[in-house]
Amino acid sequence: MPDARTGPVGIGVIGAGLISSTYLENLNRFPDTTVLAIGDIRPEVAQARAMEHDVPRGGDVATVLDHPEVEIVVNLTTPAAHVEVAEAALAAGKHVWNEKPLALDRAGGARLLARANGARLRIGCAPDTFLGDGLQAARRALDDGVIGRPLTALALFQNPGPDAWHPNPAFLFQVGAGPLFDLGPYYLTALVQAFGPVSEVAAIGSTARATRHIGSGPNAGQPFDVTAPSHVGALIRFASGQSAQTIFSFDSAVHRTLLEINGTDGTMLVPDPNEFDGPVAVRRGSSDVTETVATTTARSTRGTGVLDMARAIRAGRPHRADGALAYHVLDVMASITDSIEACTFVEVESRVERAEPLPPDWDPLASTLEP
């Protein structure tokens, strides 16, 4: 049913780290959302961020949870805190948008979905890059049969790791992160949107260095432990019978991002799944000619999924980057982890439907909600 409230949807942000600036810029720019408060376990950091982005209130976590006009809590905390903060938001009667991953394990993710369902509240989750102009154009091209029937895919993400530039990188190398949980959701979500749900995986993981060092900021040079595999290679079988090969690595001196989808009539070069735009290109047969079938420019970036969720709340329709999709991607990553430990194929139990594409005329900067 449509929501009884009208006008822009009130947003509260918990977590004032690096990624919060992009969310705040976009969610304040969209006419259909308005950021009312930002909170953090470091209230002074949240207050500074609030002043920087003209947010009316900044302070501790309660500043957001107790705000009566906050309808969606955007949870930008570290992965280990995602479930705890999301549960607190649900308990406060708020819808939740989590940064990825939804949770560290299946149990935490399932509990969140159950509690949201019981409270008749919504869960949304990053990544929302699949709602960007680039991946939406690729989806439309696939659905239009530009490469015939899609059959297989190759997904690669490789670089030396974020420890060289991130001032606080330790959490990105611990359980719930690593290249699989940190970058994997972008590629896995894009693949699910292309092929549908995953049915089975097999994987191998490794760790190049048990200890790394912070490369920038006031703590530069300090060591930290690596507790998650820093290189993961996985074979993926989809319920449709299609397949993909993937590599997610923080151990490569070569920077590489790639998503290719092979079909009966050609190969599609898909835009970077961690971006919101980029060209969509096709190569056919033995030809060396690459044909650009779409050139896109991002109309919005991080926060696009929050906006779609906000509009869906008002309209009483499903939102696209929803908890079921995020849980399925989490289930796939947990199954990959299980496969690494067991050295065998692992079945993925959850299933999810592909999200409906955005309408071609979807405009994030339009004011669509009644005042």
Task: With H, G, I as helix, E, B as strand and everything else as coil, classify residue 122.
Answer: coil
Residue 93 and residue 143 in one domain: no
Distance CA 336, CA 343 (A): 10
Pair (104, 244) in one structural domain: no
Residues 187 and 239 in one domain: yes
Tokens 């960007």, located at residue: 132
Output the 3-class SS for 200-232: EEEEEEECCCCEEECCCCCCCCCEEECCCCCEE
Of the residues 248, 278, 294, the one at which a domain ends:
294
Kindly state whether residues 125 and 146 are assigned to the same domain: no
Q: Is residue 369 part of a domain?
A: no
In a domain, 75, yes or no: yes
d(CA 107, CA 155): 27
Helix H or strand E segment including 271: none
Q: What is the pLDDT along the chain (371 residues), one digit of tens a residue?
A: 667 788 999 999 999 998 999 999 999 999 999 999 999 999 999 999 999 999 999 999 999 999 999 999 999 999 999 999 999 999 999 999 999 999 999 999 999 999 999 999 999 999 999 999 999 999 999 999 999 999 999 999 999 999 989 998 999 999 888 999 999 999 999 999 999 999 999 999 999 999 999 999 999 999 999 999 999 999 999 999 999 999 999 999 999 999 999 999 999 999 999 999 999 999 998 778 899 999 999 999 999 999 999 999 999 999 999 999 999 999 999 999 999 999 999 999 999 999 999 998 999 999 999 87
Q: 203 with 83, same domain? A: no
Q: Is residue 337 part of a domain?
A: no
Does residue 363 lie within any of the structural domains?
no
Number of domains the chain contains: 2
CATH number at 32 reads 3.40.50.720
Q: What is the DSSP letter of 272?
A: P
Looking at residue 255, which CATH number applies to its domain?
Answer: 3.30.360.10
The verdict on residue 332 lying in a domain is: no
14 and 122 inside one domain: yes
Q: What is the 8-class DSSP label of residue 353?
A: P
201, 273: one domain: yes
The strands making up 123-125's β-sheet, listed across from edge to edge, are 57-59, 33-39, 9-14, 72-75, 95-98, 123-125
Q: State residue 1's pLDDT score.
A: 62
Examine residue 192 and state whether it is found in any structural domain, yes or no.
Answer: yes
C-alpha span between 325 and 336 (Å, rounded): 17
Structural domain range at position 23: 9-129+302-322
Q: Is there a single domain that holds both residue 43 and residue 123?
A: yes
Do residues 244 and 145 both lie within one domain?
A: yes
Whether residue 272 lies inside any domain: the answer is: yes
CB 93 within 8 A of CB 74: no
SS3 308: helix
Radius of gyration of the chain (CA): 20
Same domain, 153 and 114: no
**4 in a domain, yes or no?**
no
Q: Name the nearest CA neighbour of 335 among 324, 345, 320, 321.
A: 345
176 and 220 fall within a common domain: yes
- Domain shared by 167 and 120, yes or no: no
Contact 206, 230 (CB under 8 A): yes
